[in-house]
């Protein structure tokens, strides 16, 4: 296993974990751009652009891009979030040169009008699809309530109206403001010929013109409150709760991740014993959402409408008792054991290593090996856990609930 | 990448089947107990699932909480579920813990304590699983479709209904366990960094006292073919289509699998291209091979806004019918690369392999090695697939739609408007 990095003259970062023993190779472009970088007029443009990237270039039609990805037998996809857009493909090592050339080419899309209008319909279908799925817009509402006017409160998908209003021109000008090589990292993992990778990327991307995209990473002014969304034909009630958490650069995020596991893992956690083992909820969990400059921890409960008010009370009481009595050493040890095991399992997937490398670059620009990450989690102490609990009080939160209940209230 | 599969069947009928993956640091197991929901009595629908929940609420010397803690202290990422034929228990972990994890499951399978004070909590968990289905519109359409296509037993879901789960007693649970949790027909599949000889000895010691039991009788219910609409005020209409396919064990399986790969295997596949890429009708559209032990189906799904649902259904049916005219050389070439690439990628996950070899053993009584699958794929030709498609053209569609409005359906010259 060898970690290699290189920066092209125009600022494009190349990072790879080269493992000659691996059977596959995974590659991805990680772009520091997402919903937080949009204005309300172009809400949803990052995600729509992610779709359009697969719609062809001056060198290829949309159909050709799909054909070539399939001809390599690649497992490829893309995703857009609040602050990142990621394009990735895993292939057998013999296809390294071909897939790197293809991914590089599609990163300079044509945005042809016909393709644009057809794909707009697909995006609208995607928005409608999520409208039919739990928690029925609850997450978007949560983000906008919790982050208030801060850009992190902006929706990734946008709305049918905002997406309908987008044009190839407005998308192109967004592209020209965000897709600078200095704002992009190319990450790879698996069986990789790194020297060839650098040579190829220099050939395909070396002529991309650099500029300096800007992003405000001012810490959000987190909002608290209680919001009820009425969804009469939903069977279950969905409760989302967000409290402040560490940003992606704060050291305390590791202790917070362990804390999330202790309180909200899908097995053996506080929420598990309170809500799942007892059958009081269908699902319950807690996880961290860390961004540049801001962060949150979100608690999620899905239960029957009849049980919802009582569960809100139980959750508040549980948070209170955790605050007053803290976490035990035994809980910490079990959580660490579990995390160590997850790290080993995840490290065996080439794709997951590629994501780890790219995501580390997105948030902090420093690289940690699997062993280093495992060692950091292993070193988390009970004091650090309690420090995280004190720094990010769970009972100061924004709650959004969605479902058939009309009269839910915040617990006392 | 050399692939070795070892297996051993013990006197009481348990089969251990394993694939060493020495390049990994992890290991996984997948246990299939022949106690699936096909054995649920009609008045006790959901009992296999309920028993699956209850065997994990105290076993051997462990109470419910100690059981979970024991797994967590080993770092086992575990799961369990009832399916039509089997109740499955799985786990993945660092390789050194595999033997200790199996020791815990030896208690789950042979020595559950069924504590009375856990019964109502367990029942509530089962209720939650039933409720969860209510909000999953795509699954609701597909579930109804499977029930219509395969009949009320082979096409059933394992959760049962609130009424039947409410009526199940601790006594019912104990007698279902006594009858159906048995070593004969039970499969323990392991994959990862492991030594087969010591694993075989270990599993032998853990389960040697368990006595075989008689095979239970299974009944069947007739299919309910046709077109059905479930009315629901939703943003999208959820369209689910089934037609006859072939079982995994059938000699034509790879011919059909090849054809479905062309139809729905990648971004250049026919459904993705015609429904999504050219017309922008949906975000999700797919067709897949579904298999029971003795028969199979092709299941298709798409979710699309209500005003475009009719066109989506029409285009999908047209593409399905067009398959009878055959596939092309370049389509088959892409498919072959994809299948092979997918097989290599699967070798990165011991969890995926443990599940696959358990499935192979259940359906075939042996495991298809990578080389064998490779050979089957290499043998596929445009001629052989087209011959198969001409003899077995996609037809006799069963359709379930879920949304505000029924759709019109016309196929094979017979038109039907949904009631």
Binned average pLDDT, 10 residues per bin, chain B of 419 residues: 88 97 95 97 97 97 96 96 98 97 98 97 95 94 98 95 98 98 98 97 98 92 95 96 97 96 95 97 97 97 96 97 96 94 88 95 94 91 97 96 93 44
Is residue B402 included in any domain, yes or no? yes
User: Residue A136 corresponds to which tokens in the numbers above?
Assistant: 């029925």
Q: Which DSSP category does A235 fall into?
A: S
Q: How many residues does chain A have?
A: 412
A269 touches A263 (CB < 8 A): yes
Is residue B115 located within the same domain as residue B26?
yes
Q: Which residue of A has its CA nearest to B28?
A: A345
Is A344 an interface residue toward B (CB < 8 Å)?
A: yes
Say whether A304 and B25 touch across the interface (CB within 8 A): no
* B405 and B341 co-located in one domain: yes
Residue B14 and residue B126 share a domain: yes
Give φ, ψ of A93 to 5 degrees. Answer: -55, -30
Q: How far is B92 from chain A (nearest CA, A)?
A: 8
End-to-end CA distance of chain B: 55
* 3 state SS of B8: strand
Closest of A401, A398, A80, A359 to residue A245, by C-alpha:
A398
Contacts of B137 in chain A (CB under 8 A): 132-133
A62-119 residue pLDDT tens = 999 999 999 999 999 999 999 999 999 999 999 999 999 999 999 999 999 999 999 9
Q: Does A114 touch chain B (CB under 8 A)?
A: no
Mutate to test the interface with B, among A125, A136, A342 (most CBs of B within 10 A): A125
Question: Any idea what DSSP says for residue A137?
Answer: T
Provide the 8-state DSSP code for A228.
Answer: E
Q: Which of B269, B280, B348 sits opposite A23 (nearest CB)?
A: B348
SS3 annotation, B188-226: EEEEECCCHHHHHHHHHHHHCCCCCCCCCCCCCCCCCCC
Other C-beta atoms lying within 10 Å of the C-beta of residue B390: 12
| Cα separation, A64 vs A56, whole angstroms | 8
> Which residues in A lie closer than 8 A to residue B129 (C-beta atoms)?
282
Would you state the structure tokens that stand for residue B383, as one six-digit string? 């001629």
For domain A2-205, the CATH superfamily is Metalloenzyme, LuxS/M16 peptidase-like (3.30.830.10)
Q: Edge-to-edge strands of the sheet including B398-403?
A: B227-231, B398-403, B236-245, B296-305, B284-291
- Residue B280: inside a domain, yes or no? yes
Please indicate whether, in this complex, the C-beta atoms of B341 and A92 are within 8 angstroms of each other. yes
Q: Which chain B residue is nearest to residue A93, measuring alpha carbons?
A: B341
CATH number of B162's domain: 3.30.830.10
Tell me if residue A354 falls in helix, strand or coil: helix
Mutate to test the interface with A, among B235, B276, B351, B403 (most CBs of A within 10 A): B235
pLDDT of residue A10: 97
User: Could you say which of B72, B93, B348 has the minimum Cβ distance to residue A24?
Assistant: B348
Q: Report yes or no: B247 and B290 within 8 Å, Cβ to Cβ.
A: no
Dist CA A338 CA A265 (whole Å): 10
Residue B271: give the domain boundaries: 227-417
> Is the same domain home to B276 and B343?
yes
pLDDT at B413: 46
- Contact B31/B105 with Cβ under 8 angstroms? yes
Nearest to B305 among A24, A125, A340 (CB): A125
Among B124, B192, B349, pick the best mutation site for testing chain A contact (most A Cβ within 10 A): B124
A207 near B CB under 8 A: no
Contact yes or no for A23 and B278 at CB 8 A: no
B304 neighbourhood in chain A, CB within 8 Å: 125
Residue A356's pLDDT band, with cuts at 50, 70 and 90, is: very high
**Residue A279 to residue B122, Cβ atoms within 8 A:** yes
Do the Cβ atoms of A268 and B267 come within 8 Å?
no
Q: What pLDDT does residue B348 have?
A: 85
Rg (C-alpha) for chain B, rounded Å, is 23
CATH homologous superfamily for A225-403?
Answer: Metalloenzyme, LuxS/M16 peptidase-like (3.30.830.10)
CA distance A209 to chain B (A): 31
A92 touches B at CB < 8 Å? yes
What dihedral do alpha carbons A49, A54, A57, A62 form, nearest 10°?
A: -130
Q: Are residues B332 and B278 in the same domain?
A: yes
Contact yes or no for B25 and A75 at CB 8 A: no
The full set of domain ranges for chain A reads: 2-205, 225-403
Burial of A322 (0-12, 13-18, 19+ CB in 10 A): middle
Q: Which residue of B has its CA nearest to A268?
A: B68
B349 → closest Cβ in A117, A119, A348: A348
- Chain A residues whose CB is inside 8 A of the B264 CB are none
Within this chain, domains A2-205 and A225-403 share the same CATH topology:
yes
Test the B interface: residue of A90, A106, A341 with most B CBs within 10 Å: A341
Q: How far is CA B230 from the centre of its chain?
A: 24
The predicted model scores a pTM of 0.95
Nearest CA in chain B to A302: B132
Q: Inter-chain contact A304–B128, Cβ cutoff 8 Å?
A: yes
Shared domain check, B35 and B93:
yes
DSSP class per residue in B43-104: GGTTHHHHHHHHTTSEETTEEHHHHHHHHHHTT-EEEEEE-SS-EEEEEEEEGGGHHHHHHH
Q: Which of residues 345-404 of A touch B (CB under 8 A)?
A: 345, 348-350
Same domain? For B173 and B143 the reply is yes
Q: In chain A, which among 165-194 make CB contacts under 8 A with chain B?
A: none
Which residues between 240 and 299 in chain A have a beta carbon less than 8 angstroms from any beta carbon of chain B? 267-268, 272-273, 276-283
Kind plus residue range of the DSSP H or E element containing A67: helix A62-71
List the Cα angle A26/A31/A35 in 5-degree steps. 125
Q: Computed from CA positions of residues B372, B374, B377, B381, in that sequence, does the dihedral angle turn out positive or negative?
A: negative
Note whether residue B216 is domain-resident: no
Q: How high is the pLDDT of residue B347?
A: 82
In terms of domains, do B350 and B386 share one? Answer: yes
Count the alpha carbons within 13 Å of B142 in the hemisphere toward its beta carbon: 17
Cα gap B206→A119, rounded to integer Å: 57
pLDDT at site A365: 64
**Which residue in this structure is represented by tokens 């990734």?**
A156
Angle between helices A329-347 and A382-391 (to 10 degrees): 90
Q: Which of A91, A334, A348 lies nearest to residue B24, judging by beta carbons?
A: A348
Give the contacts of A217 (CB within 8 A, at least 6 positions apart).
A292, A293, A294
Is the CB of B344 less than 8 angstroms away from the CB of A23?
yes
- Which residue of chain A has the CA closest to B342? A73
Can you read off the two tokens belonging to residue B52? Answer: 């699956």
Residue A198 contacts residue A5 (beta carbons within 8 Å): no
Residues 33-72 of A with CB under 8 A from B: 54, 62-63, 65-67, 69-72
The answer to whether residues B16 and B153 belong to one domain is: yes
- Looking at the structure, tell me whether residues B244 and B359 fall in a common domain: yes
Kindly list the residues from chain A whose CB atom is less than 8 angstroms away from the CB atom of residue B71.
267-268
**Domain co-membership, B125 together with B239:** no
Cβ neighbours for B373, distance < 8 A, ≥ 6 positions apart: B339, B343
Q: At what angle do helices A45-52 and A168-178 cross, to 10 degrees?
A: 90
Q: Which of B122, B283, B311, B402 to mutate to test the interface with A (most CBs of A within 10 A)?
A: B283
For A358-400, how does the pLDDT look when each residue is reduced to its tens digit (9 = 90+)? 999 998 767 888 999 999 999 999 999 999 999 999 999 999 9
Torsion of CA B378, B384, B385, B390, to 10 degrees: 180
Question: Would you call B77 and A342 a contact, using CB atoms and an 8 Å cutoff?
Answer: yes
CA distance A114 to A96: 31
Give the three-state DSSP class for B4.
coil
| DSSP run (H or E) holding B239 | strand B236-245
DSSP SS3 for A388: helix
Please tell me whether residue B23 adopts helix, strand or coil conformation.
coil
| Number of folded domains that form chain B | 2
Q: Is B381 part of any domain?
A: yes
Q: Read off φ and ψ for residue B101, nearest 5 degrees.
A: -65, -45
Structure tokens at B14: 């348990």
For residues A18 and A25, what is the distance between their CA atoms, to the nearest angstrom?
A: 9
Please indicate whether, in this complex, the C-beta atoms of A279 and B125 are within 8 angstroms of each other.
yes
**Of B335, B313, B323, which is closest to residue B381 (Cα–Cα)?**
B335
Asked if residues A57 and A109 have their Cβ atoms less than 8 Å apart, the reply is: yes
Q: Evaluate whether residue B212 is within a structural domain.
A: no
Q: Using CA atoms, how far apart are residues A42 and A38, in angstroms rounded to an integer?
A: 6
Distances (CA, A) of B232 to A132, A232, B134, B238: 11, 12, 11, 10
Which residues neighbour A396 within 8 Å (Cβ) at sequence distance 6 or greater?
Answer: A222, A224, A243, A244
Say if residue A135 is preceded by a cis peptide, omega within 30 of 0: yes
Q: Indicate the helix (H) or strand (E) that contains B389.
A: helix B382-391
Give pLDDT tens digits for A295-341. 999 999 999 999 999 999 999 999 999 999 999 999 999 999 999 99
Q: What is the pLDDT of residue B418?
A: 39
Taking CA atoms, A287 is separated from A217, A259, A266, in Å, by 21, 9, 10
Q: Which of B207, B239, B269 is the last residue of a domain?
A: B207
Q: pLDDT tens digit string along A219-250? A: 999 999 999 999 999 999 999 999 999 999 89
**B352 and B406 share one domain:** yes
Which residues lie across from B73 on neighbouring strands?
Answer: none
CB environment B122-134: b (16+ within 10 A), e (fewer): bbbbbbbbbbbee
Mark yes or no for CB contact A281/B340 under 8 Å.
no
Mutating which of A48, A75, A348 best tests the B interface, going by the most B Cβ atoms within 10 A? A348
């Amino acid at each position: 296993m060898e970690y290699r990095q290189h920066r092209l003259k125009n600022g494009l970062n190349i990072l790879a974990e080269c493992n000659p023993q691996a059977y596959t190779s995974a590659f991805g472009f990680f772009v520091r751009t997402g919903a937080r970088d949009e204005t309300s007029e172009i809400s949803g443009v990052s995600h729509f652009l992610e779709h359009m990237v697969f719609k062809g270039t001056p060198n290829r039609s949309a159909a050709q891009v799909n054909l070539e990805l399939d001809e390599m037998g690649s497992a490829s996809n893309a995703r857009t979030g609040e602050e990142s857009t990621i394009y990735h493909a895993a292939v057998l090592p013999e296809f390294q040169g071909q897939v790197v050339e293809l991914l590089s080419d599609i990163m300079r899309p044509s945005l042809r009008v016909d393709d644009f209008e057809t794909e707009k319909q697909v995006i609208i279908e995607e928005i409608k699809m999520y409208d039919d799925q739990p928690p029925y817009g609850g997450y978007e509402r949560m983000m906008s309530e919790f982050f208030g006017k801060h850009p992190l409160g902006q929706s990734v998908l946008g709305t049918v109206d905002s997406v309908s209003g987008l044009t190839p021109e407005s998308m192109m000008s967004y592209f020209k403001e965000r897709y600078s090589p200095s704002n992009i990292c190319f990450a790879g993992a698996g069986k990789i010929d790194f020297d060839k990778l650098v040579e190829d990327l220099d050939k395909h991307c070396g002529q991309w013109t650099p500029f300096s995209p800007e992003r405000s990473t001012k810490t959000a002014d987190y909002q608290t409150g209680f919001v009820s969304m009425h969804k009469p034909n939903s069977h279950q009630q969905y409760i989302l709760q967000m409290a402040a958490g560490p940003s992606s650069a704060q050291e305390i995020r590791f202790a917070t991740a362990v804390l999330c596991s202790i309180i909200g893992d899908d097995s053996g956690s506080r929420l598990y014993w309170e809500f799942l083992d007892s059958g009081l909820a269908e699902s319950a969990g807690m996880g961290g959402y860390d961004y540049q400059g801001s962060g949150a921890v979100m608690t999620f409960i899905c239960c029957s409408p009849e049980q919802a008010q009582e569960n809100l009370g139980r959750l508040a009481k549980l948070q209170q008792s955790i605050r007053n009595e803290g976490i035990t050493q035994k809980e910490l040890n079990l959580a660490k054991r579990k995390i160590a095991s997850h790290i080993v399992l995840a490290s065996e997937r080439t794709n997951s290593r590629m994501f780890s490398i790219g995501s580390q670059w997105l948030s902090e620009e420093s690289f940690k090996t699997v062993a280093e990450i495992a060692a950091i989690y292993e070193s988390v102490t009970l004091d650090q856990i309690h420090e995280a609990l004190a720094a990010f009080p769970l009972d100061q939160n924004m709650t959004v609930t969605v479902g058939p209940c009309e009269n839910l209230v915040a617990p006392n | 990448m050399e692939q070795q599969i070892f297996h051993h069947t013990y006197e009481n009928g348990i089969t251990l089947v394993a694939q060493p993956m020495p390049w990994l640091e992890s290991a996984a197991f997948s246990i299939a107990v022949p106690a699936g929901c096909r054995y649920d009595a009609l008045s006790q629908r959901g009992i296999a699932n309920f028993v699956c929940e209850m065997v994990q609420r105290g076993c051997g010397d462990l109470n419910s909480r100690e059981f979970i803690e024991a797994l967590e202290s080993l770092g086992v990422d575990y799961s369990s579920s009832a399916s039509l034929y089997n109740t499955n228990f799985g786990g993945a972990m660092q390789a050194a813990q595999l033997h200790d994890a199996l020791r815990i499951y030896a208690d789950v399978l042979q020595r559950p304590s069924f504590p009375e004070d856990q019964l109502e909590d367990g029942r509530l968990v089962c209720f939650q699983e039933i409720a969860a289905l209510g909000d999953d519109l795509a699954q609701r359409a597909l579930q109804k479709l499977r029930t219509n296509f395969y009949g009320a037993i082979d096409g059933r879901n394992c959760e049962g209904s609130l009424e039947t789960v409410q009526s199940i007693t601790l006594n019912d649970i104990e007698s279902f366990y006594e009858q159906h949790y048995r070593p004969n027909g039970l499969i323990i599949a392991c994959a990862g960094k492991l030594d087969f000889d010591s694993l075989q000895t270990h599993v032998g010691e853990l389960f040697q006292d368990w006595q075989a039991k008689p095979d239970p009788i299974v009944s069947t219910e007739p299919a309910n073919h046709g077109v059905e609409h479930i009315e629901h005020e939703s943003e999208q209409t959820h369209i689910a289509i089934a037609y006859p396919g072939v079982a995994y064990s059938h000699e034509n399986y790879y011919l059909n699998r090849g054809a479905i790969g062309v139809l729905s295997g990648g971004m250049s596949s026919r459904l993705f291209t015609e429904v999504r890429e050219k017309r922008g009708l949906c975000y999700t559209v797919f067709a897949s091979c579904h298999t029971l032990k003795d028969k199979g189906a092709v299941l298709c799904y798409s979710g699309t806004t209500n005003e475009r649902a009719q066109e989506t259904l029409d285009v999908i049916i047209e593409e399905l019918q067009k398959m009878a005219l055959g596939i092309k050389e370049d389509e088959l070439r892409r498919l072959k690369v994809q299948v092979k690439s997918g097989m290599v990628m699967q070798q990165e996950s011991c969890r995926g392999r443990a599940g696959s070899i358990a499935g192979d053993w259940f359906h075939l009584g042996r495991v298809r090695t990578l080389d064998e699958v490779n050979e089957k794929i290499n043998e596929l030709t445009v001629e052989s697939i087209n011959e198969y498609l001409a003899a077995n053209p996609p037809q006799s569609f069963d359709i379930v739609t879920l949304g505000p409005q029924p759709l019109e359906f016309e196929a094979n010259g017979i038109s039907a408007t949904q009631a």
